[in-house]
Amino acid sequence: MHLDFAVVADYAIVDQAGKLSVLGIFQHIWVQQFPAMHPRLHLVLRLKGKRTEIGEHQVQIRLLDEQDA
């Protein structure tokens, strides 16, 4: 299994047909000071794998600053 893409956006939805729509993909999040709060965002990930990998998997997400990246 591998990560096909990951984006942060204003909004994301999967419709009844299973089609993903992502609106307002962020390039940067600007804040004046840290810690900061962002009112709303959606983290959208698409994982791809083989049929033999179907099932539950653990995913770990770490948000890092430029120094830790």
pLDDT of residue 69: 62
Q: Is the pLDDT of residue 68 over 80?
A: no
CB within 8 A of 21, min separation 6: which ones? 12, 13, 14, 15
CB 1 within 8 A of CB 56: no
Q: Is the pLDDT of residue 5 over 90?
A: yes
How many angstroms separate the Cα of 39 from the Cα of each of 9, 29, 61? 12, 11, 20
Per residue in 13-57, pLDDT tens? 999 999 999 999 999 888 888 788 888 999 999 999 999 999 999
| Number of compact structural domains in the chain | 1
What are the DSSP E strand ranges found in the chain?
A: 2-14, 20-25, 42-48
Q: Is the pLDDT of residue 64 over 80?
A: no
Q: Is the pLDDT of residue 60 over 70?
A: yes
| 59 within a domain of the structure (yes/no) | no
44 is in which domain, residue-wise?
A: 2-53
What pTM did the predictor assign? Answer: 0.72
